[in-house]
Amino acid sequence: MQQRSSNFDSTDKSLMEGNLERIMTGSLFQVVLMIAVATVQMGQTTEVTGNDDELWKTASEAGEKFSALYYRAFDKPNRPDLPGFFMDNVVLLWNGNRVEGQQLVVDFFSKLPDSTCTLHSLSCQPVHRAEFGIDYNDPPSLRLQAISRKVFSHVTYTVTEIGSNSE
């Protein structure tokens, strides 16, 4: 949260001051939650089936395609293609700010300056015990207009909506 540009100092400061308690409480809660989830996942055993190689290959290919499409859409001026990437109940956590709902997330991203993202690596895997889900982690660098390039972490869970015809 210390990575602020001079263009957004006053906005960042007011957001941080207004959300300081929630951010600090949320951060501690998030760390505890991540440790609990990791402990549970490490303690579970899964049966390896012949289908596992295919699931990993599918996750890898889907992650590469998704990230290419997503960052291309994210880097477009005004980001007109972003709504198609988010479900109605999407939750975005961006630099300590929580934004919920597809339209609010799209509005949030639309207010950001134009960007250029560069993907450096990608880790994709099938979501544990989920038939249609992929977890992918990527550490791209992001340049917002003339602001210096920053490396950040981006974790996305892609899932198929129940009742969706897409595969």
For the chain, the domains span 1-45, 50-160
Q: Which CATH number fits domain 50-160: 3.40.640.10, 3.40.50.300, 3.10.450.50, 3.40.47.10?
A: 3.10.450.50
- Helix, strand, or coil here: 138? strand
pLDDT digits (tens, 9 = 90+) for 13-26: 665 565 555 545 55
Examine the pLDDT at 59 and tell me if it is beyond 50. Answer: yes
φ, ψ at 102 (rounded to 5°): -55, -50
Average pLDDT over residues 50-69: 82
**Residue 109, C-beta contacts closer than 8 angstroms, at least 6 positions apart:** 74, 79, 82
Report the pLDDT averaged over residues 96-114: 89
What whole-number distance in Å separates Cα of residue 79 and Cα of residue 115?
10
CA angle 156, 84, 51 (to 5 degrees): 50
Q: Does the reported pTM lie above 0.85?
A: no
Higher pLDDT, 15 or 104: 104
Q: Which of 62, 82, 84 is closest to 71 using CA atoms?
A: 82
Give which of 161, 117, 133, 1 is closest to 63, Cα–Cα. 133
The proportion of the chain whose per-residue pLDDT surpasses 70, expressed as a percent, equals 47
